[in-house]
């Protein structure tokens, strides 16, 4: 089984995250993609809402899709989440991470040099970088020339990963994804602007129900 891993703060989860997951799934014929919300993110300040709220919203976002799953592997961690340490935890649980596909947007992968345990983390599993508005995955070889030899375009499920030997690859997926960010959603929610088409309806309803990002005291989960 080919399994993808999509980590993030998901503050909140939105259609861009779902588009990235679907583009990776289609390009590499992944059987399952696991969303892994970070309790404490490593590359930004404290999230606007609690880990419990972010986990609940992500659960609502992935629920309609049989090939998407949700993991709580980061939910009880007191330290910031790094891809390298998450892989450690998965290995401790018995997972063979070498066959895993870590999925990220091309914009995030462009900063790979700043990631914990770089470049060694790239030798632990396959990585998948998906185009985001403003940055095509196909631009990454020029931005990261030291990694260009390991990068290969992936489309239409044509990649024979099973037959690969040697170091894990970095797959580049050039596909359209919704032009939206969590920052923009938080800004719109604070202004009382509509969130239609930016995130799943169930997530939008959850944000409204709990008054998240509005500047008012959130209800429910701490």
pLDDT at 160: 57
Residue 54 lies in a domain: yes
| 10-residue mean pLDDT series, the chain (222 residues) | 95 98 97 95 81 97 98 88 92 92 98 96 98 98 98 73 72 97 95 93 96 70 50
Residue 137 lies in a domain: yes
Residue 191 lies in a domain: no
pLDDT at 222: 45
82 vs 120: CA distance, rounded Å: 13
Around 178, how many Cα atoms within 13 Å sit in the side-chain half-sphere? 19
Question: How many structural domains are present in the chain?
Answer: 1
Residue 209 lies in a domain: no
* CATH classification at residue 34: 3.40.50.620
Residue 195 lies in a domain: no
pLDDT at 219: 47
Would you say how long the chain is, in residues?
A: 222
Residue 199 lies in a domain: no
pLDDT at 180: 97
pLDDT at 31: 97
Residue 57 lies in a domain: yes
pLDDT at 41: 84
Residue 24 lies in a domain: yes
Which residue in 16, 20, 14, 113 sits closest to 4, CA to CA? 20
Q: What are the φ and ψ backbone dihedral angles of 70, each rounded to 5 degrees?
A: -130, 135
pLDDT at 159: 55
Helix (H, G, I), strand (E, B) or coil at 203: helix
Residue 12's domain comprises 3-181
By CB neighbour count within 10 A (0-12 exposed, 13-18 middle, 19+ buried), where does 1 fall?
A: exposed
Eight-class DSSP state of 114 = G
Torsion of CA 73, 152, 43, 15, to 10 degrees: -70
* Chain mean position to CA 176: 16
pLDDT at 216: 58
For the chain, report the end-to-end CA distance as a whole number of angstroms: 36
């Amino acid at each position: 089984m080919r399994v993808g891993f999509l980590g993030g703060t998901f503050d909140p989860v939105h259609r861009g995250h779902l588009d990235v997951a679907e583009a990776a799934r289609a390009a590499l014929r992944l059987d399952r993609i696991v969303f892994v919300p970070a309790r404490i993110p490593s590359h930004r300040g404290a999230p606007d809402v609690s880990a419990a709220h972010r986990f609940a919203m992500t659960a609502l976002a992935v629920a309609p899709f049989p090939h998407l799953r949700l993991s709580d592997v980061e939910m009880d961690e007191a330290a910031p989440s790094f891809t390298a340490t998450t892989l450690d935890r998965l290995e401790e649980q018995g997972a063979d991470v070498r066959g895993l596909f870590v999925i990220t947007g091309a914009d995030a992968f462009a900063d790979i040099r700043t990631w914990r345990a770089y470049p060694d983390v790239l030798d632990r599993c396959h990585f998948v970088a998906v185009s985001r508005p403003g940055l095509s995955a196909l631009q990454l070889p020029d931005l990261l020339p030291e990694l260009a030899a390991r990068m290969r375009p992936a489309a239409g499920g044509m990649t024979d990963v099973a037959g690969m030997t040697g170091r894990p690859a970095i797959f580049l997926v050039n596909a359209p994804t919704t032009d939206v960010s969590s920052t923009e959603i938080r800004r719109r929610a604070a202004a009382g602007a509509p969130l239609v088409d930016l995130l799943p309806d169930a997530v939008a309803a959850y944000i409204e129900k709990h008054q998240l990002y509005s500047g008012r005291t959130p209800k429910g989960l701490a």
